[in-house]
Amino acid sequence: MELERQSLAVLQQFGRTYRAYAAAFEQRIGHPLPRWRILYALHGHAGPIAQKPLADRVGMDPGALTRQLKALQELGWVERNTSERDNRVTNVTLSDLGRGIVEQALPLRSSFLRDVLENVSETTMRNLSKGLEQLESGIAVAVQRTQQREKEEKADAADADAA
């Protein structure tokens, strides 16, 4: 029971830390973190990229990405075009204005990261990264088990209906 309590406390701390980081990032850089992740990914990609691979790259739900991209398009920071090869695919590129926005923010981002990590040792960073990888792996296992249970429950219900 103690391990469960400690684990829950750590997960809650992780959530608080992420929210504090996201708020401080936006205050310092001037862009919400989800928007920045999209802009930064586009800045680091030569040419257009389809929305699906972009969603994978930034770890964002495709619907949420579309909403963000529409807002960025209205600002003139990105361009969205339907693929000539497949009209189901929308390609995204960073506009010249968007590129300027990112390049203006990059030094602010670097300075912010230096400030955030100033008192965090390399060893702590390695250990934290390793711990987060283990946590992500555990989450993936939990998701797989849940999906397997749901599949088994549906099969059992179908068998009961057939009987």
The tally of domains found in the chain comes to 2
What is the rounded CA–CA span in Å between residue 64 and residue 82?
Answer: 18
Asked if residue 103 and residue 48 are part of one domain, the reply reads: yes
CA of residue 42 relative to chain centroid, distance: 14
Instruction: List the domain range (segments joined by +) for residue 128.
Output: 121-163
Coil vs helix vs strand at 149: helix
With 0.75 as the threshold, say if the pTM is over it: yes
Asked if residue 162 and residue 97 are part of one domain, the reply reads: no
Query: What residues of the chain score a pLDDT lower than 70?
Result: 163
Asked if residue 156 and residue 100 are part of one domain, the reply reads: no
Asked if residue 115 and residue 125 are part of one domain, the reply reads: no
Residue 83's pLDDT is what?
A: 80
Residue 7's pLDDT is what?
A: 85
